[in-house]
Chains A and B, each alone.
Chain A
Amino acid sequence: MTMRIMVVEDDALIALDIVSLLEDMGHLVVAEAADACTAYELAEGDRPDVALVDIRLAKNTDGGKLAQKLYDLLGVRSLFVSGSITEDFRVQMAGINPVGFLGKPVTRRTLGDALRGVTQH
């Protein structure tokens, strides 16, 4: 199933890699952003099916808050991709029905498995 995906990641090469992986899987990357503000503006316009969100973003912005806003205001669910997913964070985000929490480094398989969660929930 092809999905329209937004990638929010502040590291340019990691973003490029993830976009390539997603496109290899047949998904459409509709927006890319490095910080929370840009990401939200883009999401308002493009309305992705799902957002891949790093927790620590550029300009010192917070992926957790972005995901909260995306879900509350636009109904967009997030898949968190980060090197620092704590148990506290999982509990905090439980309310916004996240697609999943994916630890770095990401492989083709872990990313694919995580996205399968979109259709299952």
Chain B
Amino acid sequence: MTRDPAEVSGSHRQAARERAFRLLAITVAALFLAFASVGGVFVWYDHSARLVAHTHEVRNGIADVLQALTDVESAQRGYVLTGDRSFVERVEDGRQRAEAELDAVDILTADNPEQQTRIIALRGLMAKRLAVVDETMAQRRSGDAVAAIRTVRQGEGVAAMAAVRRIATELEAEEAQLLAQRARQATVIRSALITLLAGFALALTFLFVRSQRELSLDREVEADTAERLRALLADRSLLLDEVNHRVKNSLQQIASVVRLQSRSVSDGATREALEKTLDRIMAVGRVHEQLYKSGGQVGAFDAGHYAKALAHDLVDSLGRDDVQLTTEVEAHVLDLRQAVPLALILNELVTNALKYGCPADRECRIHVGFGTDGQDYRLSVSDDGVGLPKGFTSQSKKSLGMRAVEALARQLGGRLVVEQPEAGAAFAVIFPRSP
């Protein structure tokens, strides 16, 4: 079984288009995923960067505690040596700073139990060191500088301070380790983030290139389809032209034979019959002409236009200058099956009007109308000539012409109406709009 090439390329095209749409959907989904993952990783990275900053704060806090305590020791020594009261203020200031800084470090390391244990120990040792300082200061204040120096020599304060330094070093070491660990983690996360971004960029590039390729394939297929359709259309136009030519030629052959025959007979009645036959052939020929007129829409039969043209042709062909033809037609495109019967009916009615309604010796008017009548179409032909014999009905006169009109009206699903005008004759064929 051969398939229509347009159909084949159409299905290729459909497939290419579906692939392109799928790729697009994947690309969009990948974009969403990329944003979500990058966002997640970024939040993680931000967190670990904050942890690094936190560790720095803790380390600074410890250093500040030590510094404050060292300041206290210096001021104490100054006081013992000079008795200058300004050193008392500096001792107080150092003590407050040391305690405040230690509290801050305590809060900062609340999540680390090991550091908390160290801070409790540090706090105890710091209190001890400060107690020795207080004792020394009190002895010096009471004027007993020797006792104060003795207390210093006992070395309790120095020992406490050494322990403070040791613990501070431990705290510091722990934080340094944490810092290294957290900095490493932050680096890893940063690398992961960069890798992820690069990966997504690559994937997106790949998807973009793929979808571009699919789309260009789609365009190629489309161009191909259009080309095939043009070729098919050209073939069909050629075929239609050929059929049209043959139909017209065949009609011409038939018309020529009938005309030659009518020319060769001497009997008037026979000649008239042949001329009528010729008219009927020509009426069909005109329908064909209108249907296949080049440039027009093939197969569109405008009944109004046809009725007008045929009536004029028939009147002109008889050379009757004394006949006044009036037409009142609406343009209606009829189904093809209605065209030929309607043409033949019109031919008979107009021929009859010319022959019986308007004999050669008198002037007359013929009116042709075509239009809608409710749900029906109405074709009417009337003349103001001698009129029908009294008591005429369509049944009463069995000429071939009238019998043909009745039969054709029935073929259209309609009926012939013989009207009774005051002067002349009037016929109408009424038939439904849809066949």
A residues lining the B interface (CB < 8 Å):
11, 13-14, 16-18, 20-21, 56, 82-87, 103-109
Contacts and interface: CB of A to CB of B under 8 A. Distances in A.
B114 interface: no
Given A13-B256, A105-B282, A20 B263 contact: yes
Contacts of A11: 249, 252-253, 256
A16 B263 CA distance: 12
B294 interface: yes
A14 B289 CA distance: 18
Contacts of B248: 83-84, 103-105
| Interface of chain B: mostly helix, strand, loop or mixed | helix
B49 to A, nearest CB: 79
B317 interface: yes
Contacts of A56: 245
Given A14-B249, A17-B256, A104-B252, 17 more contacts: A13-B257, A13-B260, A21-B259, A83-B245, A83-B246, A83-B252, A84-B241, A84-B242, A84-B244, A103-B248, A104-B249, A105-B252, A105-B281, A105-B282, A105-B285, A106-B252, A107-B255
B313 interface: yes
Given A11-B253, A103-B289, A108-B317, A17 B241 contact: no
Nearest to A54: B249
Nearest 3 CB-CB pairings of A with B: A83-B248, A17-B256, A84-B245
Interface in B268-307: 281-282, 285, 289, 294-295
Contacts of A17: 255-257, 259-260
Identify the interface centre among A17, A56, A108: most chain B CB within 10 Å of its CB.
A17
A16 B256 CA distance: 8
Interface residues of B, number: 27
Interface in B11-65: none
A105 B263 contact: no
B253 A13 contact: yes
B247 interface: yes
Contact of B294 (A16, A21, A85, A109): A85
B244 A83 contact: yes
Contacts of A85: 294
B332 to A, nearest CB: 24
Nearest to A104: B252
Given A86-B241, A104-B252, A109 B260 contact: no
A20 B263 CA distance: 9
B235 to A, nearest CB: 16
Interface in B157-179: none
B244 A105 contact: no
B251 interface: yes
Contacts of B252: 11, 14, 83, 104-106
Contact of A86 (B251, B253, B259, B294): B294
Nearest to B259: A17
Contacts of B249: 11, 14, 83, 104
Contacts of A106: 252, 255
Nearest to A16: B260
Interface string B96-115: 00000000000000000000
A108 B256 CA distance: 11
Contact of B282 (A13, A83, A87, A107): A107
Contacts of B242: 84
A20 B260 contact: yes
Contacts of A18: 256
Contacts of B285: 104-105
14 contacts: A11-B253, A13-B253, A17-B259, A18-B256, A20-B260, A20-B263, A21-B259, A84-B242, A87-B294, A104-B251, A105-B248, A105-B256, A105-B281, A106-B252
Contacts of B257: 13, 17
A87 B289 CA distance: 14
Contacts of A104: 248-249, 251-252, 285
Contact of B247 (A20, A83, A108, A109): A83
B156 interface: no
B335 interface: no
B66 to A, nearest CB: 106
B373 interface: no
Identify the interface centre among B248, B254, B255, B256: most chain A CB within 10 Å of its CB.
B256
B316 interface: yes
Given A20-B259, A104-B249, A109 B316 contact: yes
Nearest to A14: B256
A107 B242 CA distance: 22
Contacts of A83: 244-249, 252
Contacts of A87: 294-295
A103 B252 CA distance: 10
Contact of A109 (B281, B289, B295, B313): B313
B367 to A, nearest CB: 22
Contact of A107 (B241, B294, B317): B317
A86 B248 CA distance: 13
Contacts of B260: 13, 16-17, 20
